[in-house]
């Protein structure tokens, strides 16, 4: 945190997006940062992170949100990706049970690479496809409770709960550091 004057304090929080390939991580970020959705996920490859600001209790909170460049497909997310992260969104696809079953692996990976105080939110994405869901809301809620995470279902496509998801994590981080 840096001081412009006596009243205003800015924060910069690094938040990482993790979870299996094709669960919608890149689209959650593009929806949040630019209000855009791309069916072709390659559009965001090469972008390391995007910055988005919000105000919390009169303070400007900047989130530097990191997205993978597809390396999660090869289980090759490096420690540099996690370094300095104070928040994480673990994303699964509610229509693909395997992506939910892998949440535990991502939690382990996060534990290995980051501080134990990291704020974690579980995100079940693609809620617009609820008619073909393979994971219930109750299962998501239970897993989140078990690991002390917040939980939310989102749709990057229909822009449901996306801002809510990111802002919840940022508020929780702010609560810890302020």
Query: Any contact of residue 129 with ligand GDP (CB under 6 A)?
Result: yes
Strands in 102-142 per DSSP E:
119-125
Least distance to Mg ion, CB of residue 178, Å? 31
Which one of ligand GDP, Mg ion, none interacts with residue 125, CB within 5 to 8 A by kind? ligand GDP
Pick out residues in 39-78 that bind ligand GDP (CB under 6 A): 39, 41
Residues 146-157, buried b or exposed e (16+ Cβ, 10 A)? eeebbbbbbbbb
Taking the least distance from each CB to ligand GDP, the nearer of 3 and 75 is: 75
Backbone angles phi, psi at 146, to 5 degrees: -60, -35
- The tokens describing 117, both together, are 């105080």
Q: Could you give the CA distance from residue 102 to residue 116 in angstroms, rounded to a whole number?
A: 20
Tokens of residue 175, six digits? 């609560």
Choose the binding region for Mg ion from 1-9, 18-26, 29-37, 81-89 (rule: CB under 5 A).
18-26
Nearer to Mg ion, 8 or 98 (CB): 98
Q: Whose Cβ is closer to ligand GDP: residue 38's or residue 178's?
A: 38
Cβ-proximal residues to 105 (8 Å cutoff; 6+ apart), any chain:
none
Minimum Å gap between C-beta 38 and Mg ion is 10
Query: Which residues 5-34 are close enough to bind ligand GDP by CB under 6 A?
Result: 21-27
User: In this structure, are residues 121 and 168 in contact, taking their beta carbons and an 8 Å threshold?
Assistant: yes
Structure token digits, residue 47: 């972008």
- 133-162: contacts with ligand GDP (CB under 6 A): 155-157
The residue within the footprint of Mg ion, chosen from 14, 18, 24, 26 (CB under 5 A), is: 26
Enumerate binding residues for ligand GDP (CB under 6 A): 21-27, 39, 41, 125-126, 128-129, 155-157
């Amino acid at each position: 945190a840096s001081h412009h004057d006596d009243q205003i304090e800015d924060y910069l929080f690094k938040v990482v997006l993790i979870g299996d390939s094709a669960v919608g991580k890149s689209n959650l970020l593009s929806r949040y940062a630019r209000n855009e959705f791309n069916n072709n996920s390659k559009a965001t490859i090469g972008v390391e992170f995007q910055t988005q600001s919000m105000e919390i209790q009169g303070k400007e909170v900047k989130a530097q949100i990191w997205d993978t460049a597809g390396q999660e497909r090869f289980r090759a997310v490096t420690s540099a990706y996690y370094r300095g992260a104070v928040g994480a969104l673990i994303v699964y696809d509610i229509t693909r049970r395997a992506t939910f079953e892998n949440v535990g692996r991502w939690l382990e990976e996060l534990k290995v690479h980051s501080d134990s105080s990291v704020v974690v939110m579980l995100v079940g994405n693609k809620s617009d496809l609820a008619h073909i869901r393979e994971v219930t809301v109750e299962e998501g809620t239970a897993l989140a409770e078990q690991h002390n995470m917040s939980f939310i279902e989102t749709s990057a496509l229909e822009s449901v709960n996306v801002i809510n998801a990111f802002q919840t994590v940022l508020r929780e981080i702010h609560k810890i550091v302020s």
